[in-house]
Structure 1
Amino acid sequence: MILVLAGTSDARELALQIKDKGYDLLTTVVTDNAAKSMEEAGVPVQVGRLTADDIQQLIQDRAVQCVVDASHPFAEEASKNAMAGAQGAGVPYIRYERESLSSPGSEKLIVVEDYVQAAELAAEKRGVIMLTTGSKTLKTFTDRLLGLPDTTLVARMLPRLDNMQKCEELGVEQKNIVAMQGPFSKELNKALYEHYGVTLMITKESGKVGAFDEKVEAALEMGIETIVIGRPKIDYGTKFSDFESVLTQLKQVTGGN
């Protein structure tokens, strides 16, 4: 049995390839929408956030031979729990992370270390700010941006009820919410920037599969300043950015196919 932390489109594809190699596997995801995608692909899935203890117990209960962590590049807590759970159960841990995309050189692009830095820099710049980093850290930005003179915060996020409730609770006006399921093409990004009159865009460096390049390229081509939040710095140990290397490593640690 292989345990795969999934939830992204490339993680789903990796899980399918592991299954095709003949391994029994179980994927874990956080949302019902991600679970539906796995179920439609015929991949066993468990829904819900897992602590390190939960993962260790799951490894023991299901006789898991290896943990493959293919969670989102910014799912820092999930990765740390996976590493701790695997270590506690004494099984190998393999990290798959979509390749980091080199940021195009531009005076309009600024890379920062975290969400707080991004929010504070945006507060200095003001204008029409489009936030494309999701709902989890929305409060970091609303605390610093809402109510500032000459400043409008446009929040782009997944069309989920809990996201809309959070926007309402934090004071984001309905007219300034873009609730859409990505990924977005460069053309659609440009259309949204133009519609709202965006002067500053904030994103995180999720990688090519996360349409990072389309968001940034669209903004820079339109002369829109862009703040990019760098990935968390985590020592994963065994880490790969391509499926073939993961499968090869999986074969080595399990003595499998």
Structure 2
Amino acid sequence: MNMVVFSGTTEGRSFSRALAALGAAVTVCVATELGAEEQGCADGITVRTGRLDAEEMTALLRGAALCVDATHPYAAEATRNIRAAAAAAGVEYHRLLRPASPLPAGSVVLADAARAAAYLADRPGRVLLATGAKELPAFAALDPARLYPRVLPTVAGIAACEAAGVPHRNILAMQGPFTKELNAALLHQFHIDYMVTKDGGAAGGFAEKAEAAARCGVQLIVLRRPDDAGEATDTILQRCRELL
């Protein structure tokens, strides 16, 4: 029985392996080569790499017993597309969503990256951007010399920083999640005043970022999660057992 998991996340990888262990034939879809590298190889799992349009998603899902959307909590557009494709294919859909984090007192919580950039526009100081390369264009109005983007160590990540005019010495190309100690070391090394991040939950190392910011006296700015409802891994796995 074939089941499709849209992944690229820590929870998606662990879920797909647990599902394969139940005896399902699992197709895991990831958008990038890095996602495929992190997914790795395992018995019972076929990895499909590359972004899919609506028609390709629908075609892939036809005949599947179940579709699980385990994409990032902030991948709102991907979730909309996956949900629509599952409906078009007539396939049962489940959203695997990592729990949100409690936000520390004193955090500045804003709706999106554009509002974070507006907040920072008249506040001097250095900014560590832990929001991903895709959000960099939102900060275009700020002096790029202020910005210290932490991006994945990929050609695309570096290219996004270059396109934004960020000096190469400011680019922090590394793959998380990171410990509290490493976060604090970066904040100290680059004399950071503000850290902008998303609530990636435990899997995204949110608590470690928040604790490091508090320790270093850095203002934490959190981009609010998109509204979404999901289920826990155990709940969806139980449904998979019923189908198998």
Question: Which of 207, 211, 216 is residue 222 of structure 1 equivalent to?
Answer: 216
CA displacement at 1:185 relative to structure 2: 0.3
- Structure 2 unaligned blocks of 5 or more: none
Q: Write the letter of the residue equivalent to 2:18.
A: Q
Where do 4+ consecutive residues of structure 1 move more than 4 Å? none
* Structure 1 stretch displaced more, 46-55 or 183-192: 46-55
Is the contact made by 1:31 and 1:48 (CA closer than 8 Å) also made in structure 2? yes
* Maintained 8 Å contact 2:30/2:48: yes
Aligned residue in 2 for 1:145: 142
User: By how many angstroms is 1:54 displaced?
Assistant: 1.5
Q: Whole-Å Cα distance in 1 between the matches of residues 124 and 137 of structure 2? A: 17
User: Which residue matches 2:69?
Assistant: 69
- Structure 1 runs not aligned, ≥5 long: none
2:168 to 164, 174, 177: 174
Q: How does 1:1-257 map to 2 (within 5 A)?
A: 1-42=2-43, 43-60=45-62, 63-105=63-105, 107=106, 109-141=107-139, 143-146=140-143, 152-234=146-228, 236=229, 239-240=230-231, 242-252=232-242, 255-256=243-244
Deviates more, 1:46-55 or 1:17-26: 46-55
Q: Percent identity, please.
A: 35
Deviation at 1:224, TM superposition (A): 0.8
Note the alpha carbon deviations across 1:209-233, whole angstroms, 9 max, x for none: 1001101111012211010001112
Output the amino acid matched with 1:111: V
Aligned length: 242
For the 8 Å contact 1:131–1:201, the answer to whether it is kept is: yes
Tell me how far 1:166 sits from its aligned partner.
2.0
Q: Answer yes or no: is the 8 Å Cα contact 2:134–2:160 preserved in 1.
A: no
TM-score, normalized by length of structure 1? 0.90
Please say if residues 201 and 225 of structure 1, whose CA atoms lie closer than 8 Å, have aligned partners that are also in contact.
yes
Q: CA deviation at 1:206?
A: 1.2
CA distance in 2, matches of 1:165, 1:209: 26
Quote the Cα distance in structure 1 between the aligned partners of 2:159 and 2:3: 36
Greater CA drift, 83-92 or 121-130? 121-130
Alpha-carbon RMSD:
1.4
* TM-score, with structure 2 as normaliser: 0.95
Residue 167 of structure 1 aligns with an amino acid whose one-letter code is C
Matched AA of 2:159: Q
